[in-house]
Amino acid sequence: MSETLEQLKEILGEVSDINHAASVLEWDEQVSMPPGGSEARGRQLATLGKIAHEKATSEEVGNLLDKLKSEFSGSDSDEAALVRVAARNYDKTMRVPASFVAERAVAASKAFEAWVEAKSKSDFSIFRPHLEKVVELVQRYVSFFPPADHPYDVLLDDFEPGMKTAEVQEIFANLRPKQVDLLKRIAQVKQVKDDFLHKKYNEKKLWDFSEKIIAEFGYDFSRGRQDKAPHPFETTFSVDDVRITNRYEADNPIATLFSAMHESGHAMYEQGVNPAYERTPLESGTSLAVHESQSRMWENLVGRSLPFWEHFYPEFKKVFASQLDGVSVKAFHKGINKVEPSLIRVNADEATYNMHIMLRLELEIGMVDGSIAVKDLPGIWNAKMQDYLGITPPNDAKGVLQDVHWSGGMIGYFSTYALGNIISAQLWEQINKDIRDLDEQICKGEFGTLLGWLRGKIHVHGHKYDPQELMQRVTGSKIDSAAYVRYLTKKYTDIYGL
């Protein structure tokens, strides 16, 4: 390895260390920090962000990259990928002033605490001024970059490299009528029962069972842990310290299981990245959509499948005998896959989930281009929920305040959830071609072959390949919704007898 590359890796390694230290503080903020600590935590994160930004955009880094770009031009090596991704990150980071990074960190910390209070009181007015500040900062961020086809392109590219707003809108435009048609067909037949899912379930027993499931999946608890937080998430401090959070909802207790499966999908991706990529720009997943494909796969294609519950249900029924008395595994399977328009995105069934995402994408685009004012969000949200799903939120907590992401300035992010669903089905079709007895393995509680396939085809590559290139390599096709439509149609045809 050249001396120049070693010098670059050393600096980028220090930037990575600082960013991961900030991630520890952000994890603590959501898991265990007292509310009074928010102002100081905001300053601390601002300081670390500023230091990381200055180090990442130093003249030395620029000079090293200039030397290395020609040295590794045209190569498919790990080193060439590192230089390519580092150069891309450098170009983007150079456009953003360090003072802005610090200002955004302070605003995000304050906005998070305001969101927590606003949600608990179901009062959007508490969060509104903070979200207005967040949107203002997002618009300023966009202004640092050359004009794009749409200002939202700049934000989307941060989460889904190379993806354009128009591409996502086209994918959604093709998908939406097919999902609407499926929903209409389901609405015309007898609804499945799921009353047994909404009884009182012991929180600790559910929590323990969730950890049993994800441990069997392959989530390595010697390199991870599960803690409580207002909103479930995964965070990575290193390949050997990948944590998840979860929550218990009294009115939807089984969600604890599926949240654990979902976040463990993210975490197993991070635990499976090539250790050689540690402290480099290749150390994480390639994009949020690919990341989401992993979480949605383990949560839905595995965790909501009949073979999965044929393995786990006997033990689960023993733990919750009174709640599940007289409920067969097939009835349970139908219950956890019930299709019904609902208010909360994270608890939405697969047939309606993408409608939530399409709604949020429209709102985000409107906030960014100025066609939607923050003050009008609750009313617009409620109107679109009625239009998209036929239901209206009774309050802000179950409407516009339900998601944490906007408090952190993560605008440009939501479409990756639906793209992740699409990718998960594409990968699943390929997996079933390569692992012919996959259902039988899952029925026996054997997940090693599946995780091994994902490790070898997806996880180990980290950010070496951009998402479309990775999908082309693994499935022979770029991101396409056809497999997802086939998956949904077959699944709900079987469950509802369509």
Mean pLDDT, range 243-264, rounded to an integer = 95
Q: Is the pLDDT of residue 1 over 70?
A: no
Q: Is the pLDDT of residue 44 over 80?
A: yes
Q: Is the pLDDT of residue 99 over 70?
A: yes
Residue 122, number of CB atoms within 10 A of its CB: 15
Mean pLDDT, range 200-211, rounded to an integer = 97
Q: Is the pLDDT of residue 42 over 90?
A: no
Yes or no: say if 275 and 231 are a contact pair by the CB < 8 Å rule.
Answer: no
Q: Is the pLDDT of residue 74 over 90?
A: no
Mean pLDDT, range 184-205, rounded to an integer = 94
What pLDDT sits at residue 108?
A: 92
What pLDDT sits at residue 62?
A: 95
Q: Tell me the pTM.
A: 0.88
Query: Lowest mean pLDDT: which of 72-76, 164-168, 250-254, 334-338?
Result: 72-76
What pLDDT sits at residue 385?
A: 93
Three state DSSP letters for the chain: CCHHHHHHHHHHHHHHHHHHHHHHHHHHHHHCCCHHHHHHHHHHHHHHHHHHHHHHCCHHHHHHHHHHHHHCCCCCCHHHHHHHHHHHHHHHHHCCCHHHHHHHHHHHHHHHHHHHHHHHHCCHHHHHHHHHHHHHHHHHHHHCCCCCCCHHHHHHHHHCCCCCHHHHHHHHHHHHHHHHHHHHHHHCCCCCCCHHHHCCCCHHHHHHHHHHHHHHHCCCHHHCCEEECCCCCEEEEECCEEEEEECCCCCCCCHHHHHHHHHHHHHHHHHCCCHHHCCCCCCCCCCHHHHHHHHHHHHHHHCCCHHHHHHHHHHHHHHCCCCCCCCCHHHHHHHHCCCCCCCCHHHCCHHHHHHHHHHHHHHHHHHHHCCCCHHHHHHHHHHHHHHHHCCCCCCCCCCCCCCCHHHHCCCCCCHHHHHHHHHHHHHHHHHHHHCCCHHHHHHCCCCHHHHHHHHHHCHHHCCCCCHHHHHHHHHCCCCCCHHHHHHHHHHHHHHHCC
Q: Is the pLDDT of residue 290 over 80?
A: yes
What pLDDT sits at residue 489?
A: 95
What pLDDT sits at residue 71?
A: 86
Mean pLDDT, range 128-147, rounded to an integer = 96
Domains of the chain as residue ranges with CATH: 3-147 (no CATH), 165-496 (1.10.1370.30)
Query: Lowest mean pLDDT: which of 180-184, 380-384, 469-473?
Result: 180-184
What pLDDT sits at residue 413?
A: 87
User: Which has more confidence, 162 or 144?
Assistant: 144
What pLDDT sits at residue 102?
A: 86
What pLDDT sits at residue 300?
A: 96
Mean pLDDT, range 171-200, rounded to an integer = 92
Mean pLDDT, range 278-291, rounded to an integer = 95
Mean pLDDT, range 473-488, rounded to an integer = 93
pLDDT in tens, 405-417: 999 999 998 899 9
pLDDT band at 231 (very low <50, low <70, confident <90, very high): confident
Q: Is the pLDDT of residue 326 over 90?
A: yes
Mean pLDDT, range 265-288, rounded to an integer = 96
- The one catalytic residue in 263, 270, 283, 350 is 263
pLDDT in tens, 82-92: 999 999 999 99
Active site residue 263: yes
What pLDDT sits at residue 471?
A: 94
